[in-house]
Amino acid sequence: MAEALFRKAAAQGHADAQVTLGLMYNIGDGVEQNREQAVLWYDAAAKQGHPVGQYNLGAMYARGAGVEKNLELAVSWYRESAKQGNLEAQCRLSHCLLRGDGVEKDAEVAVTWFREAAIVGHTAAQSELASCYSLGTGVEQNDALAVQWWAKAVQGGDVVSRYNIGVGYMHGMYGLPKDVERAKAFMKSAATRGCAEAIDALKVLGGCAMELDPGLCVSCGAPDITRTCLGCRRVRYCTLACQDRDGASHKVDCGGLKACQCFSCTSDRPGESNIYRVAARIGEGSTALAAAAAGCGNNSSAVARGGEGSSSSAAATGGGEGSISSAAADASGCTAM
């Protein structure tokens, strides 16, 4: 019934209906999955200037789903969507520009698109922009701005940013003081969300990933606990919003835990792929953690949710704003752990 209604509207040229119908065919929701049909309807919406249709069509070309893989066309549609303010498209376009996928490498333009999405609160863009400042990729290297943008991304729940600030405190990098306790706090916060590097870092720091303060929300640090993970009984949240933001990543690792139910202690954890890109510049002699700074991976779904971004506030990019240490500490959401 729903498919018939959307098909009728799509056939009459309604772009929103075309995008919805394309999504239904793309994931097999209410209809038999048919990627070729998905591309057809995404294409119809994209040619009408619909930003989500443009982004989704670009994603299909990038993956070769329902259509022959064509990175040049993917970039072209990402760009059209990005121009209309689609934050996911801006991030995906930036990744292509950094890697040279379907377009000539241009780190400076990539940073421009990351910044545009980051300023209006897109968490992934904030994290990527911070890494660019940290590494001097497409922009003058600036540790202060790197930490400021990581701190913004932490407020949006970004795991990589929690880890990177933890590395800063662990090694006294990015203009942060060496502070083992703060390092542990950030690493614990990242580890409970499944970050393998944070788990390894905790082994070096002598901390346990599940040594959490039972009275604080693991997501934001608030004391008003209302929800508890039914798997480990240790990870707690203050609101449904915090649980929704962090619960999925925690559940992946929590479900198979045994013994002490600690990420850093158990060896029975289900195997997981490492999806985290580490921007840390570890000095010589630090062999515990790898200084992986190659590539800009993106694990976003190919299905766009137009204009969706983080609820964190817009961030200013001016240097020297406030104390770097305090900004990072305030963003941890877990300094009392």
- Does 292 reside within a domain? no
Average pLDDT by consecutive 10-residue portion of the chain (337 residues)? 88 95 94 96 97 97 96 98 97 96 97 97 96 96 97 93 95 94 90 84 72 63 73 73 69 46 33 29 30 31 32 32 42 39
- Does 195 reside within a domain? yes
Question: What is the reported pLDDT for 322?
Answer: 34
Percent of residues in the chain assigned helix, strand, coil, to nearest 5: 50, 0, 50
Question: What is the reported pLDDT for 202?
Answer: 87
Question: What is the reported pLDDT for 224?
Answer: 75
Look at the chain and report how many structural domains it folds into.
Answer: 1
- Does 25 reside within a domain? no
Main-chain dihedrals φ then ψ at residue 262, nearest 5 degrees: -115, 130
Question: What is the reported pLDDT for 253?
Answer: 52
For the full predicted model, state whether its pTM sits above 0.75: no
Distance between first and last Cα of the chain: 52
- Does 235 reside within a domain? yes
Distance CA 64, CA 74 (A): 10
- Does 244 reside within a domain? yes
- Does 312 reside within a domain? no
- Does 189 reside within a domain? yes
**Structural domain of residue 211, as residue ranges?**
158-283
- Tokens 């996911």 locate to 88
- Does 178 reside within a domain? yes
